[in-house]
């Protein structure tokens, strides 16, 4: 998704090679859906982390440590991707607004 947004943003804002407003809006919609999916993933991971901490059994600490590390990595990755995607979506939103104004 990020690559598609970057490709659109690298095209001219106007002229024959500029993306259509419909294309900009389609990618915005897809991007917002991707952002919502990342937010859902982040919430699932946070919920699971809370479950593990509340139900922690000291006897199973090795397995828990591995799961906690994996969940932590997933959470960090989802948050990082969400920040990047939101930044690109903001820029693309501005481009679409300018295209609407010019139309």
Per-domain residue ranges of the chain = 2-102
Residue 8 token pair: 């659109």
* List of E strands, 26-101: none
| Per-residue pLDDT at 66 | 83
- Over the stretch 11-26, which tens digit does the pLDDT of each residue have? 999 899 999 999 999 9
CB 15 within 8 A of CB 9: no
pLDDT given at position 59: 65
3-state secondary structure of 103: coil
| pLDDT, tens digit (0-9, with 9 covering 90-100), for 32-84 | 999 999 999 999 999 998 888 787 776 667 777 788 889 999 999 999 999 99
DSSP 3-state of 15: coil
Quick one: pLDDT at residue 28?
A: 97
pTM listed for this prediction: 0.84
């Amino acid at each position: 998704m990020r690559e598609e947004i970057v490709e659109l943003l690298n095209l001219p804002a106007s002229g024959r090679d500029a993306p259509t407003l419909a294309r900009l809006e389609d990618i915005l919609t897809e991007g917002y859906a991707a952002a919502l999916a990342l937010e859902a993933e982040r919430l699932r991971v946070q919920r699971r982390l809370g479950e593990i901490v509340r139900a922690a059994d000291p006897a199973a600490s090795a397995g828990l440590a591995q799961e906690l590390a994996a969940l932590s990595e997933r959470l960090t990755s989802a948050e990082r991707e969400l920040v990047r995607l939101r930044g690109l979506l903001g820029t693309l939103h501005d481009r679409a607004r300018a295209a609407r104004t010019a139309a």
